[in-house]
Amino acid sequence: MPRPAWLDRALAGVEQADEGFFARFAPPPEGGRRSSVLILFGPAPRGGEDVVLTERAHTLRTQPGDISFPGGKREPSDASDAAAALRETQEEVGIDPATIDVVGELPAIYLAPRKFVVTPVLGWWAQPGSVDRVDPGEVHRAVRAPLADLLDPAARFTVTHPSGYRGPGFDVDGLFVWGFTAGLLSAVLDFGGLTVPWDRSVERSLPVRYQPGGRRDALTQTATEGRA
């Protein structure tokens, strides 16, 4: 199945956006540890498209149980940021890189607490299959979340945090999607022209399970620093 036109619109929209978009989280001159995530879309069984999301293993030292895109640290053997994202996706959820059409790379984002420079990679999975072959040391579970469910206004809300952070959130298949992942997903859907109006005054506090030991999500700290 050919990739939908809205994916190319999303990439072009990000590239043509004014400098304020993504600029708040641009990497510093000294850079940081390179990593990539894959925002992978494909045809959904019920029509439309879906996106691959993972729930991080609950035993991980950092961000246990958080909802994320497949991805991880770039290795010296990786030819590019996109190659790193494809390799990590295969290792975490078993998707063959040969089945993925790389649409393009979004601007890198700096996650200050861990000094990561993360490149989001847009991908299209024309003939999707199972995502249940996961690395249990990294991933608790993986799902293909239908965009129809993510775009449902009833599934959208504004996440609030005691630090003062406010950002988009999604509730899908029992997953509380927020922070870095929700921000990227919201931006792609916006620039792709898929977003439908939703009530941004509906707020949900960040669940305690995502705040072990007072930990704050990387994007939360980045946003807080940006307001300082």
Whether 155 shows a pLDDT value over 70: the answer reads yes
- Asked if residue 121 lies in contact with residue 38, where contact means CB atoms within 8 angstroms, the answer is yes
Whether 226 shows a pLDDT value over 50: the answer reads no
Query: In the predicted model, what is the mean pLDDT of the chain?
Result: 87
- The mean pLDDT of 204-215, rounded to a whole number, is 72
Whether 20 shows a pLDDT value over 70: the answer reads no
Whether 165 shows a pLDDT value over 80: the answer reads yes
| Domains identified in the chain, total number | 1
Note down the domain range covering 85. 5-227
Using CA atoms, how far residue 72 sits from 54, 80, 97, 161, in Å, is 12, 13, 15, 26
- The mean pLDDT of 85-89, rounded to a whole number, is 96
pLDDT of residue 65: 82
Whether 179 shows a pLDDT value over 80: the answer reads yes
Confidence of residue 213 (pLDDT cuts 50, 70, 90): low
| CATH for 135 | 3.90.79.10
Whether 131 shows a pLDDT value over 70: the answer reads yes
Using CA atoms, how far residue 164 sits from 76, 109, 138, 223, 228, in Å, is 38, 20, 30, 9, 11
For residue 152, which amino acid is it? D
Query: How far is the C-alpha of 54 from the C-alpha of 94, rounded, in Å?
Result: 12
pTM flag (> 0.95): no
Whether 104 shows a pLDDT value over 90: the answer reads yes
What count of other Cβ atoms lies within 10 Å of the Cβ of residue 126?
Answer: 12
pLDDT of residue 6: 97
- The most confident of the ranges 9-18, 150-159, 165-174 is 150-159
- The mean pLDDT of 107-130, rounded to a whole number, is 89
What does the block give as tokens for 131? 């995502």
Alpha carbon 109 to chain centroid, angstroms: 11
18 versus 83: which is more confidently predicted?
83
